[in-house]
Amino acid sequence: MGAGKTVLIVVGAVMGTCCLGTVFLGLSCYRSAKGTMAEAETYAQGAIRKIGKDWSYDALASEGNDLLLQSTPRDKAGELFKEFRAKLGSVTDVGPISVSSLNTNSSFHGPTTEVVGTLPVRFEKDSGLAKVTLVKGNDTWKIQELRIDAPKLHSP
């Protein structure tokens, strides 16, 4: 066998190994993202049910992160929740999340994951959407942003 054939065989073996490694890495990332989205969906569905059961600030406070709680004082949430109770009633069902963004970051505080998505929500008196930003840090999911939209909220 000539030197040229040996070089081609070595180059082919290296390229094949690199291709297999890339496929394995891509599949691993896909599985990890799929698992993260499933975790986020389960958390979001449970948190929205908990908050929307009685529309209580205490439920929001237990599921919200510091940023959400700083931007949503108790009295402001109380006004919104009063309107939600009157126009929507309690949350009766929460559908699957439609993820629009999934980001992971690492910092001195450890890794964080952010998921932005929308979930269909059924209330006692209407149906609508919950738009959420979820953040996972220290192995704990929290809501960073929650917006509820339903047709009855736009009528007098």
Mean pLDDT confidence for 90-116: 91
Count the neighbouring beta carbons within 10 Å of the beta carbon of residue 94: 19
Q: What one-character DSSP code corresponds to residue 64?
A: B
Q: What share of the chain is helix, strand, coil (3-state, %, to 5)?
A: 55, 30, 15
Residue 5's pLDDT band (boundaries 50, 70, 90)?
A: low
Nearest to 131 by CA among 114, 150, 147: 147
Pairwise CA distance, residues 121 & 132, whole Å = 12
The ranges assigned to domains in the chain are: 3-154
- Topology classification of domain 3-154: Nuclear Transport Factor 2; Chain: A, (3.10.450)
Whole-number Cα distances in Å, 57 to 24, 63, 72, 75, 152: 45, 10, 10, 9, 21
Element housing 148 (H / E): strand 140-149
Pairwise CA distance, residues 69 & 60, whole Å = 8
pLDDT at 156: 79
Q: What pTM was estimated for this model as a whole?
A: 0.78
Mean pLDDT of the chain: 85
pLDDT, one tens digit per residue, over 16-35 is: 565 555 544 444 444 445 57
Pairwise CA distance, residues 151 & 146, whole Å = 17
